[in-house]
C-alpha cells in the first residue's frame, strides 16, 4: 500500500509540473495514466447539483426533455478510466478521445489552468446543460484542442462574457454548439469562425449575441445552421437557401428583411445558385421578419418543416396556388401571427403530407374549408384566434390520427357534432371562446387519449358528463363561462391523478363536496368562481402547491382553511363570500395577488405584509378589518394596488407607506383614519389613484402630491381638510395628469385653486396613459343605491371630473375652467361663490353634469351648446341668477323669452359619481346625440326628451347620493 501511495504522490506531482507547461498547448501528449489523473482532477474541481430537466431541440416538436443524472458518480482511481460513464477511449492506445458529460449535474468553474485542457487527444467534447457560471471568463484555452477536436458542445453551460478568438482556431470542427449562452460573439471573431472552420456541418449559436448583418460566407458543407435570437439583421442572403447540403435553418427572433426576391427555379439546372437546395428539410424564420416570403420556398421539394411564426405581422406570405412544384414532403407548416387575411386557402390541401398545420392569429375569416379533409396525415390542426365562422366541417371526422384540434377564439357556431367526442386519438381539444350551443357529448373514456379539454366561453348548457371522470390522462379541464347546470360533486374529479387545471367558474352549477372527497393532488390551477359553494373544498395530505385559487362569488362561510396558507399559492381570490377570521395564516412569503374583498374578515392587517416581497395586488375592501396600518421599514417594490376601502382601520397614515414606492393605486376610502397626509407621499412617482375619501383626516391641502406626474385620481372628499389652497405651487406644472379632482364635503376656504385648473393638461387634451390595465382589477367608487352600498367599476380614463362641492370656497368662478375641453362633470355647489357664470364654460362640449346650486352667483345664465340641456336644479339657490332654465327672467330678455318646455329636474346634490351611472344608462350617448341635433338645427324639444329620459332612469333606480 505504501508503494502505491508513493506512486500516486509522484504522479500527482508530475501532473502538476506538466500541468503548467502544457495546459494551454496540445503539442505534448499525456500518457493514458496521466489522462486518467487529469480526468479525475477535473471531476474533483467541480461540485454536484440537484437533478434538472435538460431540453433538446427536436425537428418536429419544439423541444423534448430528459432528466439529468450524476455521470461522474462512479469515477474512481481503482477502475479503468475507459469504463467511466461519458469517457470514450481509442481501443488500442487507451487515449481519451471523447468526453460526454452533458446533463451531468456539474456546477462550478472551468478556469484556464483546468486539467481538462491537458486531454490533447480529444476529438469530441460535450459539456452541455451543466453550470459553469462561476468561471471568471469564457476560457481561451478551448483553442488548445485545435489539432484534433471535431465536435464541441458548450450549450446551456452558463459561460458568460466574450467568446474568445481561440474558438476560431479549431479548424477541424465539424460541429460547434454554443447555444443559449449569455455571451457576446464579436463580429470579427464571428467572421473568423466562418472563414477558418471550413469543415463545419453543424453551427448552432442560438441566443448568442452576435448583433451583425446576416453572413454570406457560409461553408458549403453546412447541414445545420441555427442563428435564432442572435440579433442578426439585414436582408436574407439568397445564398443561404442554395447551400447544397443544408438541411436545417433557424433564423428566428431576428430582424430579417425578406423583401429580396429569389431567382426563378430552373429544374435540373447544374448551377446551384439557380436551383434551390434539394436537401433543405427545416426552415424557421419566426421573429421580427418583414417583407414578402418568396413563394419559391414552397417549391423546396424536400422541405418538411416551415415555421415562420411569432411577431411576423408585417410579413406577407403567398401560399401556393398550383399543385406542380409544391413540396411533397412538407410535414409541418407554422404561420401563426402572419396577416394572411381572407379565408383559409384551398391551396393548403395541395400540401398532402402535412401532419402539423398552425394558422393561429392570421386574421382569417369565413368557414373552415372542406378541402382540409384532403390532409389525410393531419395530426395537429391549430386555427385559433381568427374570425372563422360556420360549423365544424364533417370532413374532420375522418381524421382518425388527429391529436390536437385547437379552434380557440373564433366565431364558430352550431351544436358540437357527436363525432367530435368519438375521436379517440385526440389529446388536445380546445373549442373555447366561440358561439357553440347545445350539450356536451359523451367521450369514449375506455380508449380516449384526451389530456386537455376546454369549452370556455360558449353557450353550452345541460350537465357536465360523468365520462370526464374516467378520462384518466386529463391534465386540463375548463368548462367556465357557459350555462352548465345541475348539482356537481367535486369527488367526480378526485381520481384524475394528472389533473393540474380545473375551471368550473361562471356557470349555473351547484358544486358540493360529499363524504371526504378531495381535490386531485397534482392540481395547480383551481377556478371555482360563482359555483354556489357553501364550504371550502378539501385537499389530500400529499397535495402539491396550488398556484392559483379562485373561489370568489360563492356562499362560503367559516375561516380560511390551513391548507390555503400552507400550499404557497401566488394567486388567491376569495372575494364576495362570507369568510370570517383573520389573515395571519395566509402564505405572505409567496403570494402575488390577494383578493378578499366583500367578506366578514376581522382583526388587523398583519405585519407579515411587510415581508411579502412578491406581493403585487392587495384587495381587502369591504370587510371588518380594524387596527392600524402596519409600519413597514422594508421596500415592497412590486406592490402596485393597495385597496383597503370600507373597513374600520384607525390611526394615522404611516409615512413608511412611501416604501411601497411603485404603487399605482392606493384606495383607503371609508375607514377611520386620522391625522395628516405624510410629506413622504411625494415619493409616489408612479401613483395614479389616491382615494382617502370618507375618513377623518384633519389637514390642509396636501401640496406634497402636486408634483406626482402620473396621478390621475385625487379623492379627498368627506374629511376634515381645511384652510386656503395655496395660490403659488411648488412645481412648475402641478397635477398634469389629473382627471378626477374631488375635494367635496370638506372645509376648504378662499378662492378656487385656479393655478391647478391652468395645469390640468389631461382635462384639456384628454391624453393620458391607461390606468390599471391589470385584468383582475379596476378602480371603483362607492355609491348608495336603494339603501345598499354598491361598487361601480369603471375604466378611469373615460371620466373627467371636478367636484369641490360642500366647502367654503368664495370669490369668482375662474374663466380658465372653460379650457378643460374634455371635462364631463363639474360640481361647484354649496359654496360661497359669487359673480357671474363665465361664458367660456359653454365651450366644454362633453360636459354632461353641471351643478352650481346654492352659491351667491348672479347675472344671466349663459346659453349655447351643452348649457341648453341643463335643468333648473343646476342653478337652484342662487337668488341673483336669471334666465333659462330658471323661471326668473332677466330684464334684457323681458318679452323675448321663448316658450320653454316643462322643467326637467335632476336630483340636487349630484356628485361626480353620477357620471358613472350616466355611462351605464346610456346618458352620455344621449347627450352626444342631443348635441349633434343642436348642431344640425333640429327642434329644441329633442333636448327635453333627452333630459326627461335621463331623469326617469335616475329616479327609477332610487339613487341616494352621498
pLDDT band at 938 (very low <50, low <70, confident <90, very high): very low
Arithmetic mean of pLDDT, 337-352: 81
pLDDT of residue 291: 60
Q: How many CB atoms lie within 10 A of CB 597?
A: 23
pLDDT of residue 921: 36
Task: Tell me whether strands 788-793 and 780-785 are parallel, antiparallel or unpaired.
Answer: antiparallel
pLDDT of residue 79: 94
pLDDT of residue 309: 65
Rounded Cα gap, residues 923 and 900, in angstroms: 22
pLDDT band at 59 (very low <50, low <70, confident <90, very high): low
pLDDT of residue 237: 74
57: which 3 cell numbers?
Answer: 431541440
939: which 3 cell numbers?
Answer: 327642434
pLDDT of residue 62: 56
pLDDT band at 254 (very low <50, low <70, confident <90, very high): confident
Reference 909, options 960, 868, 948, 867; nearest CA is 960
Task: Tell me whether strands 459-462 and 435-438 are parallel, antiparallel or unpaired.
Answer: parallel
Largest CA distance in the chain: 131
- Specify the DSSP class assigned to residue 558: E
Q: Is the pLDDT of residue 98 over 50?
A: yes
pLDDT band at 821 (very low <50, low <70, confident <90, very high): very high
pLDDT band at 264 (very low <50, low <70, confident <90, very high): very low
Least confident interval from 136-140, 153-157, 381-385, 778-782:
778-782
More confidently predicted of 120 and 934: 120
pLDDT of residue 94: 94
Task: Tell me whether strands 87-89 and 47-48 are parallel, antiparallel or unpaired.
Answer: unpaired
Reference 178, options 127, 117, 245, 118; nearest CA is 127
Q: Is the pLDDT of residue 496 over 70?
A: yes
657, 633 in Cβ contact below 8 A? no
pLDDT of residue 409: 97
Q: Is the pLDDT of residue 4 over 60?
A: no
Arithmetic mean of pLDDT, 816-835: 95
Reference 496, options 530, 523, 463, 462; nearest CA is 523
Q: Is the pLDDT of residue 256 over 50?
A: yes
Residue with cell 446543460: 129
Reported as a single tens digit per residue, the pLDDT across 669-716 is 999 999 999 999 999 999 999 999 999 999 999 999 999 999 999 999
Q: Is the pLDDT of residue 463 over 80?
A: yes
Torsion over CA: 694, 700, 702, 704 (sign): negative
| Alpha-helical regions (H) of 826-922 | 913-921
426, 448 in Cβ contact below 8 A? yes
pLDDT of residue 777: 40
CA 612: distance to chain centroid?
21
Show the 3-state SS of 590-658.
CCCEEECCCCCCCCECCHHHHHCCCCCEEECCCCCCECECCCCCCCCCCCCEEECCCCCCECECCHHHH
Q: Is the pLDDT of residue 539 over 80?
A: yes
101: which 3 cell numbers?
Answer: 458529460
Arithmetic mean of pLDDT, 39-62: 82
Reported as a single tens digit per residue, the pLDDT across 730-772 is 788 999 999 999 999 999 999 999 999 999 999 997 655 444 4
Rounded Cα gap, residues 398 and 755, in angstroms: 74
- Specify the DSSP class assigned to residue 208: -
In the chain, the domains with their CATH numbers are: 2-126 (no CATH), 420-544 (3.80.10.10), 700-910 (3.80.10.10)
pLDDT band at 953 (very low <50, low <70, confident <90, very high): very low
Arithmetic mean of pLDDT, 785-801: 50
215, 235 in Cβ contact below 8 A? no
Rounded Cα gap, residues 904 and 906, in angstroms: 7
Arithmetic mean of pLDDT, 220-228: 91
556, 579 in Cβ contact below 8 A? yes
Reference 654, options 624, 634, 625; nearest CA is 634
Show the 3-state SS of 406-445.
ECCCCCCEEECCHHHHHCCCCCEEECCCCEEEECCCCCCC
Q: Is the pLDDT of residue 473 over 80?
A: yes
Reference 249, options 292, 212, 202, 290; nearest CA is 202
Reported as a single tens digit per residue, the pLDDT across 373-422 is 889 899 999 999 999 998 999 999 988 899 999 999 999 999 999 999 99
pLDDT of residue 299: 66
Least confident interval from 113-127, 526-540, 917-931:
917-931
Rounded Cα gap, residues 804 and 787, in angstroms: 25
Task: Tell me whether strands 825-827 and 801-803 are parallel, antiparallel or unpaired.
Answer: parallel
Q: Is the pLDDT of residue 446 over 80?
A: no
Q: Is 637 exposed, middle or buried (0-12, 13-18, 19+ CB in 10 A)?
A: exposed
CA 422: distance to chain centroid?
35
Reported as a single tens digit per residue, the pLDDT across 906-924 is 333 334 343 333 333 333 3
Rounded Cα gap, residues 93 and 31, in angstroms: 9
| Residues found in the chain | 962
pLDDT of residue 136: 86
Which range has the top average pLDDT, 51-60, 326-335, 525-534, 630-639? 525-534
pLDDT of residue 341: 74
Calculate the CA dihedral of residues 287, 288, 292, 293 and round it to 10 degrees: -20
pLDDT band at 665 (very low <50, low <70, confident <90, very high): very high
pLDDT band at 63 (very low <50, low <70, confident <90, very high): low
Rounded Cα gap, residues 378 and 384, in angstroms: 16
Beta pairing partners, 832: 810
Reduce the DSSP state of residue 213 to 3 states and report it: strand
pLDDT of residue 11: 44
pLDDT band at 234 (very low <50, low <70, confident <90, very high): confident
Query: Mean pLDDT over all residues of the chain?
Result: 82
Rounded Cα gap, residues 21 and 401, in angstroms: 63
Which range has the top average pLDDT, 101-105, 334-338, 604-608? 101-105
Share of the chain above pLDDT 70, in %: 79
Amino acid at each position: 500500500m505504501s508503494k502505491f501511495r508513493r506512486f500516486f504522490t509522484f504522479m500527482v506531482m508530475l501532473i502538476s509540473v506538466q500541468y503548467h507547461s502544457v495546459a494551454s498547448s496540445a503539442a505534448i501528449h499525456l500518457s493514458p495514466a496521466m489522462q486518467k489523473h487529469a480526468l479525475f482532477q477535473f471531476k474533483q474541481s467541480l461540485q454536484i447539483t440537484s437533478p434538472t430537466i435538460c431540453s433538446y431541440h427536436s425537428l418536429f416538436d419544439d423541444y423534448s426533455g430528459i432528466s439529468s443524472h450524476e455521470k461522474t458518480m462512479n469515477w474512481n482511481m481503482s477502475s479503468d478510466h475507459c469504463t467511466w460513464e461519458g469517457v470514450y477511449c481509442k481501443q488500442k492506445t487507451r487515449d481519451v478521445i471523447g468526453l460526454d458529460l452533458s446533463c451531468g449535474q456539474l456546477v462550478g468553474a472551468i478556469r484556464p489552468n483546468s486539467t481538462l485542457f491537458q486531454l490533447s487527444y480529444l476529438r469530441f467534447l460535450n459539456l452541455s446543460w451543466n453550470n459553469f457560471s462561476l468561471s471568471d471568463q469564457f476560457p481561451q484555452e478551448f483553442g488548445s484542442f485545435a489539432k484534433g477536436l471535431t465536435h464541441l458542445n458548450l450549450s446551456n453551460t452558463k459561460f458568460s462574457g466574450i467568446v474568445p478568438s481561440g474558438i476560431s482556431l479549431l479548424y477541424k470542427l465539424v460541429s460547434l454548439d454554443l447555444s443559449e449562452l449569455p455571451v457576446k460573439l464579436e463580429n470579427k471573431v464571428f467572421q473568423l469562425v466562418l472563414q477558418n472552420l471550413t469543415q463545419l456541418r453543424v453551427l448552432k449559436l442560438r441566443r448568442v449575441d452576435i448583433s451583425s448583418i446576416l453572413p454570406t460566407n457560409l461553408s458549403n458543407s453546412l447541414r445545420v445552421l441555427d442563428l435564432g435570437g442572435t440579433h442578426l439583421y439585414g436582408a436574407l442572403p439568397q445564398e443561404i437557401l442554395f447551400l447544397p447540403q443544408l438541411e436545417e435553418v433557424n433564423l428566428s427572433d431576428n430582424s430579417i428583411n425578406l423583401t429580396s426576391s429569389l431567382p426563378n427555379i430552373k429544374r435540373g439546372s447544374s448551377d446551384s445558385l439557380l436551383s434551390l437546395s434539394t436537401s433543405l428539410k427545416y426552415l424557421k424564420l419566426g421573429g421580427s421578419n418583414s417583407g414578402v416570403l418568396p413563394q419559391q420556398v414552397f417549391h423546396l421539394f424536400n422541405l418538411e418543416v416551415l415555421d415562420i411564426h411569432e411577431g411576423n405581422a408585417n410579413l406577407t406570405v403567398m401560399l401556393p396556388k398550383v399543385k406542380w412544384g409544391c413540396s411533397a414532403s412538407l410535414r409541418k407548416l407554422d404561420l401563426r401571427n402572419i396577416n394572411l387575411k381572407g379565408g383559409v386557402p384551398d391551396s393548403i390541401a395541395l400540401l398532402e403530407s402535412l401532419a402539423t398545420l398552425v394558422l393561429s392569429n392570421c386574421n382569417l375569416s369565413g368557414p373552415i374549408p372542406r378541402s382540409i379533409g384532403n390532409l389525410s396525415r393531419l395530426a395537429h390542426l391549430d386555427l385559433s384566434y381568427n374570425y372563422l365562422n360556420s360549423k365544424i366541417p364533417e370532413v374532420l371526422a375522418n381524421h382518425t390520427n388527429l391529436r390536437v384540434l385547437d379552434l380557440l377564439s373564433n366565431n364558430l357556431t352550431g351544436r358540437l357534432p357527436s363525432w367530435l367526442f368519438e375521436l379517440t386519438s385526440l389529446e388536445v381539444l380546445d373549442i373555447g371562446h366561440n358561439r357553440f350551443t347545445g350539450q356536451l357529448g359523451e367521450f369514449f373514456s375506455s380508449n380516449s387519449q384526451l389530456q386537455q379539454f376546454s369549452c370556455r366561453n360558449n353557450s353550452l348548457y345541460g350537465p357536465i358528463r360523468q365520462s370526464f371522470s374516467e378520462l384518466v390522462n386529463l391534465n386540463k379541464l375548463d368548462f367556465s363561462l357557459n350555462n352548465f347546470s345541475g348539482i356537481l360533486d367535486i369527488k367526480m374529479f378526485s381520481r384524475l391523478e394528472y389533473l393540474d387545471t380545473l375551471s368550473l367558474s361562471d356557470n349555473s352549477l351547484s358544486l358540493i363536496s360529499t363524504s371526504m372527497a378531495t381535490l386531485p393532488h397534482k392540481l395547480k390551477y383551481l377556478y371555482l368562481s360563482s359555483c354556489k359553494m357553501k364550504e371550502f373544498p378539501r385537499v389530500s395530505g400529499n397535495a402539491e402547491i396550488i398556484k392559483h385559487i379562485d373561489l370568489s362569488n360563492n356562499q362560503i362561510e367559516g375561516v380560511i382553511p390551513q391548507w390555503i396558507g400552507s400550499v404557497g399559492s401566488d394567486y388567491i381570490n376569495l372575494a364576495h363570500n362570507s369568510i370570517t377570521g383573520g389573515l395571519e395564516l395566509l402564505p405572505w412569503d409567496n403570494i402575488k395577488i390577494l383578493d378578499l374583498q366583500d367578506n366578514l374578515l376581522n382583526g388587523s392587517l398583519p405585519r407579515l405584509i411587510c415581508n411579502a416581497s412578491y406581493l403585487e395586488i392587495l384587495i381587502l375592501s369591504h370587510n371588518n378589518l380594524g387596527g392600524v396600518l402596519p409600519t413597514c421599514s422594508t421596500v415592497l417594490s412590486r406592490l402596485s394596488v393597495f385597496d383597503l376601502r370600507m373597513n374600520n382601520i384607525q390611526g394615522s397614515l404611516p409615512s413608511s407607506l412611501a416604501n411601497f414606492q411603485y404603487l399605482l393605486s392606493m384606495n383607503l376610502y371609508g375607514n377611520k383614519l386620522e391625522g395628516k397626509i405624510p410629506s413622504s407621499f411625494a415619493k409616489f412617482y408612479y401613483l395614479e389613484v389616491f382615494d382617502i375619501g370618507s375618513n377623518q383626516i384633519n389637514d390642509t391641502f396636501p401640496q406634497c402630491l402636486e408634483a406626482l406626474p402620473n396621478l390621475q385620481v385625487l379623492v379627498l372628499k368627506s374629511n376634515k381638510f381645511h384652510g386656503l389652497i395655496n395660490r403659488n405651487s411648488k412645481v412648475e406644472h402641478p397635477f398634469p395628469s389629473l382627471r378626477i379632482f374631488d375635494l367635496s364635503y370638506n372645509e376648504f376656504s378662499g378662492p378656487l385653486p385656479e393655478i391647478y385648473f391652468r395645469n390640468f393638461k389631461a382635462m384639456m387634451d384628454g391624453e393620458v396613459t391607461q390606468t390599471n390595465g391589470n385584468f383582475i382589477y379596476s378602480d371603483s367608487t362607492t355609491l348608495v343605491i336603494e339603501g345598499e352600498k354598491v361598487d361601480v367599476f369603471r375604466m378611469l380614463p373615460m371620466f373627467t371630473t371636478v367636484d369641490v362641492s360642500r366647502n367654503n370656497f368664495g370669490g369668482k368662478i375662474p374663466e380658465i375652467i372653460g379650457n378643460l375641453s374634455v371635462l364631463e362633470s363639474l360640481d361647484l355647489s354649496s359654496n360661497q361663490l359669487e359673480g357671474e357664470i363665465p361664458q367660456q364654460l359653454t365651450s366644454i362640449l362633453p360636459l354632461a353634469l353641471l351643478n352650481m346650486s346654492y352659491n351667491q352667483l348672479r347675472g344671466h345664465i349663459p346659453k349655447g351648446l351643452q348649457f341648453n340641456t341643463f335643468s333648473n336644479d343646476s342653478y337652484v339657490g342662487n337668488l341673483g341668477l336669471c334666465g333659462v332654465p330658471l323661471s326668473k327672467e332677466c330684464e334684457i330678455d323681458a318679452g323675448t323669452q321663448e316658450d320653454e318646455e316643462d322643467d326637467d329636474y335632476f336630483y340636487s346634490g349630484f356628485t361626480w359619481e353620477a357620471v358613472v351611472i350616466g355611462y351605464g344608462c346610456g346618458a352620455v350617448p344621449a347627450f352626444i346625440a342631443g348635441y349633434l341635433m343642436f348642431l344640425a338645427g333640429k327642434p329644441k324639444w329633442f333636448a327635453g326628451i333627452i333630459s326627461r329620459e335621463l331623469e326617469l332612469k335616475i329616479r327609477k333606480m332610487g339613487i341616494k347620493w352621498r
